[in-house]
Every structure is written in structure tokens, then in C-alpha cells.
Amino acid sequence: MSKSDKDHNHSNQNQPKKNIKIAFFINLIFSISEFFFGFLFNSVSIMSDAVHDLGDSISIGFAWFFQGYS
């Protein structure tokens, strides 16, 4: 195995952590924007979906946190 192969394999090990980090922040930003627009347009359905998405964000955050222990 050449040196470049070893470096490439090492960078692939961090890819799942990067992916879950990106998913967490995208979901969190989307949830915050839904809260804002749900409040702005006085829409209970949008705000309830924001709560649902916030729960998803929390779950992804836990997965990201506990991924460091594996």
C-alpha cells in the first residue's frame, strides 16, 4: 500500500463524521427558519413541523456526539 493510499483511507474515515455534521446543521437551520416563518405567517402547521424537525436535529446531534465514542 503506497503512502497516498494510506492518506486516502484516513480521509475516508472522517467522511461519515463530516456528513452527519452537515446533516445536523442543515436540519437545524431548516428548523429555525420554519419557526421564524411559521410565526411570521401565523401558521400552526409550519410551527408543528418545525418542532418535528427540531426533534430530528436533536437525534442527529446525539448520533454525531456518540459517533465519537465508536
* C-alpha to C-alpha distance for 48 and 13, rounded to whole angstroms: 36
Residue 24: inside a domain: yes
Residue 11: inside a domain: no
Residue 54: inside a domain: yes
Global confidence as pTM:
0.76
* Residue 31 structural domain: 17-68
Write the DSSP string, 36-60: HHHHHTT-HHHHHHHHHHHHHHHHH
- Domain count across the chain: 1
- In total, the chain counts a number of residues equal to 70
Per-residue pLDDT in tens (0 to 9) along the chain, 70 residues:
555 555 555 667 788 889 999 999 999 999 999 999 999 999 999 999 999 999 999 999 999 999 887 6
